[in-house]
Chains A and B, each alone.
Chain A
Amino acid sequence: MNKMNKMINSILLVDDEDLFHLVFEDACSILDITLSLEALNSSDEADKKFSEWFPDDPNHERPECVFVDLNIIGSSFDGIELIRKINTDYGNGCVIGIISSSDDNQEIEKAKAAGAQFWLVKSDDIEPRLEQFRNDYDGYLDKSNPFKVYK
């Protein structure tokens, strides 16, 4: 039961790559990270959902944690802009960060400035980073953890 308490209530993944949705879902399930995972393909779609979730009721069905890809092909804006919108336009109510194959320092700084709490580098071996993230999660939830890059 203790392990279950550590699970993240709900995760939203915004990534244009369908295959990565499967990888992320399986990795989360194997590592018991969450029981509820929703995946979206575009930042526009995510933006629309957040604009519906937040204005009237801040405790609406918004996810507890959001993973956003940096470059989302087929979207009007990138992951950093989505984070800025979620944090500033709709109100900061969730743990949010970037999940990307890039580890470009400039982009990382931009994400940090937009309000991202973490940067997780995507690679073939994503499970150890997700596990580290899960261990640090409580600190992100109560905003006590500083920005961290999981390489």
Chain B
Amino acid sequence: MGINKVCRDDLLKLANEKRIYLEGNILKVISANDGDSEFIEYLNICKNKDKDSRIKRLSVTKQVQAQNKELVAKQRENDALMEELQTALEEAKNAEWEADKLREEAEKGKDKALEDLELMQKKTQFELIGQIVKVALWVILGVGIITTLLFAFTLVTGKENPILESTWSNLFGILLTNSFSIIGTIMGVKYATEKNE
């Protein structure tokens, strides 16, 4: 495509005075008249400038594109990491919940074991007390019977023994008093234990 002289001169004037040059694909369709070396040179300068700026822009655009790709890849990596983190957090929460549950169960087991132990201890204590009471009763009964037999023997034979008489009466007095005291203690202990439970 050729251009008229006025236009050609204006373009050259713009280039010389203000360093403004034509750019873009229009340069590829404009042609200079044969022998117009000044305009041929002008068009060459324009084309070179346009090509240089396009090469520069292409390089920058490619850089931006590469950076964008890297960013997108990193974003994907971050997303994957976040997802993994989220999963790990959820797993940790679940593990914590399981641990709490197990701890609760262990505590319940411990409480039950303690209760059983206490019960066993009480049972043993009661059994021991029962045995002590039994032995004591047998001892008291034995002493009472022996003393009574001895006292009865002195009464039958007429050989009075004041020590034996006082011992018998004292023994029965003490036995009576202590019996009530023992019964009272046992009842009290039993009542107190029931109240605690």
Partner of A20, one of B25, B51, B65: B65
A contact residues, range: 10 to 19
Q: B93 at interface (Cβ–Cβ under 8 A)? A: no
Name the interface residues of B53-104: CB closer than 8 Å to any CB of A. Answer: 54-55, 57-58, 61-62, 64-66, 68
* A4-B28, A32-B28 known; A124 vs B62 contact (CB < 8 Å): yes
Whether the Cβ atoms of B25 and A26 lie closer than 8 Å is no
A residues in contact with B51, CB < 8 Å: 30
B residues in contact with A36, CB < 8 Å: 25
CB distance from A140 to the nearest CB of B (A): 22
Partner of A27, one of B29, B58, B64: B58
Closest-by-CB residue of A relative to B24 is: A29
How far, in angstroms, from A19 to B61 measured CA to CA in the complex? Answer: 7
Q: Which residues of A contact B (CB under 8 A)?
A: 4, 17, 19-20, 22-23, 26-27, 29-30, 32, 35-36, 124
Q: Could you give 27 example pairs across A and B, Cβ below 8 Å?
A: A4-B28, A19-B61, A19-B64, A19-B65, A20-B65, A22-B57, A22-B58, A22-B61, A23-B58, A23-B61, A23-B62, A26-B54, A26-B55, A26-B57, A26-B58, A26-B61, A27-B58, A29-B25, A29-B50, A29-B54, A30-B51, A30-B55, A32-B28, A35-B28, A36-B25, A124-B65, A124-B66
Closest-by-CB residue of A relative to B52 is: A30
B residues in contact with A23, CB < 8 Å: 58, 61-62, 65
Q: A22-B57, A23-B58, A23-B65 are in contact. List 16 more A-B contacts (CB 8 A).
A: A4-B28, A19-B61, A19-B65, A19-B68, A23-B61, A26-B54, A26-B55, A26-B57, A26-B61, A27-B58, A30-B54, A30-B58, A35-B25, A35-B28, A35-B29, A124-B65
